[in-house]
């Protein structure tokens, strides 16, 4: 993207799919991008009681409980 805006995992995956055939590696990368985006979004909205690391850890725990860590 040319306007310095970060792509969401869905936007990135669409761009890959539009320009060429998707691979398993592309799918895994998109899932990892989405996971990081979700965790950072959650962490930004948690109170920072014991530091930023704790907020990220809590966000990762929430992600695992909500979406699981299994491969698809």
Distance CA 72, CA 56 (A): 24
Mean pLDDT across the chain, nearest whole number? 79
- 20 with 44: CB under 8 angstroms? no
Please check whether residue 33 is in contact with residue 12, taking contact to mean a CB–CB distance below 8 angstroms: yes
Question: Region 22-44: what's the mean pLDDT?
Answer: 86
- Please compute the mean of the pLDDT values over residues 1-25 and round it to a whole number: 78
38-55 residue pLDDT tens: 888 888 887 776 666 788
Residue 69 is predicted with a pLDDT of: 61
pLDDT band at 72 (very low <50, low <70, confident <90, very high): very low
CB 22 within 8 A of CB 12: no
pTM, two decimals, is 0.62
Q: What number of CA atoms fall less than 13 Å from residue 67's CA on the CB side?
A: 15
**Is the confidence at residue 67, as pLDDT, over 50?**
yes
């Amino acid at each position: 993207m040319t306007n310095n805006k970060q792509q969401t995992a869905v936007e990135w995956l669409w761009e890959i799919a539009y320009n060429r055939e998707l691979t398993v590696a592309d799918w895994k990368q998109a899932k990892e991008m989405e996971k990081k985006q979700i965790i950072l979004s959650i962490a930004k909205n948690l109170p920072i009681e014991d530091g930023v690391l704790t907020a990220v850890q809590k966000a990762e725990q929430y992600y695992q409980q909500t979406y699981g860590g299994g491969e698809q």
